[in-house]
Structure formats: C-alpha cells, structure tokens
C-alpha cells in the first residue's frame, strides 16, 4: 500500500482542534473497576466535532484499549469494561493515566490529550 503525501499547503489549511481527556472517577471493589473514559473534541470556536474516531490507550504501558467515535457534541465515551483485566495494567492506569488520541482528518489537525484515573478503594 502506498502512502499518499499531502502538499504542505493542504496540511497548513487544516483547522486546529482541541482534545481534552477528562479525569475518570471510579472505585476499585474487589480488584474490579469499570471506568468510562471520556474525551471532548472541539474546533477553534469551542464547537463539538462529531463523527471523528478517538483512540484510547494506557499511558504507561501503551496498552491498546480501543476506539470510539465522537457524538454530535464532540464527546467520545469509552467503557473500559474488560479491556483492563490484569493487575499490572490496572496499576499502570492508576499511576500513569490514559491517553486519548485523534489522528486528524482532511479538515482537522491531529491532537492528543492525557487523562487521569481517580480511583478509590
């Protein structure tokens, strides 16, 4: 598969975005936690950008959690569920947090944001 290179002028014309990953509140009961990760993608005017894929992974281990599309308000919610099942990943997430990543599109630039886990026992 060949990679299509875009002229620098096309890249410069893409609109800047803001990606904010929210702190996740949760409780670890008997070694189980099921947090919902949340990231908000907005344009330069603060308006949500819908229909864009946001990828989530653990910051410390770079463990791939998965992707989800933003809703019309630009909010992407990802239910971690069974994606964090081993104790090492749970601890890494608790200490290092998670990363939300937007790869950009024809119209928008890419963005990355860091979120934290606030887990109580």
pLDDT (tens digit per residue) in 11-26: 568 999 999 999 887 6
Query: Per residue in 25-74, pLDDT tens?
Result: 765 554 555 678 999 999 999 999 999 999 999 887 888 889 999 999 99
Query: Per residue in 72-100, pLDDT tens?
Result: 999 999 988 655 655 566 666 667 889 99
> Dihedral, CA atoms, 36, 33, 93, 71, nearest 10 degrees?
-10
Would you call 90 helix, strand, or coil by DSSP? helix
52 in Cβ contact with 102 (< 8 Å): yes
Burial of 117 (0-12, 13-18, 19+ CB in 10 A): buried
Domain annotation for the chain: domains and CATH numbers: 15-120 (2.60.40)
pTM above 0.75, yes or no: yes
- CA 25/CA 92 separation, integer angstroms: 16
Q: Beta strand 18-21 with 36-42: parallel, antiparallel or unpaired?
A: antiparallel
pLDDT at 106 over 80: yes
């Amino acid at each position: 598969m060949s990679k299509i290179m875009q002229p620098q002028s096309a890249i410069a014309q893409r609109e800047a975005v803001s990606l904010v990953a929210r702190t996740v509140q949760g409780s670890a009961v008997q070694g189980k936690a099921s947090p919902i990760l949340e990231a908000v993608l907005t344009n330069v005017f603060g308006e949500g950008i819908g229909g864009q894929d946001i990828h989530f992974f653990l910051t410390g281990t770079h463990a791939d959690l998965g992707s989800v599309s933003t809703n019309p308000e630009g909010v992407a919610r990802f239910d971690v569920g069974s994606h964090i099942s081993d104790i090492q990943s749970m601890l890494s997430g608790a200490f290092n947090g998670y990363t939300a990543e937007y790869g950009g599109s024809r119209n928008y630039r890419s963005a990355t944001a860091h979120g934290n886990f606030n887990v109580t026992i």
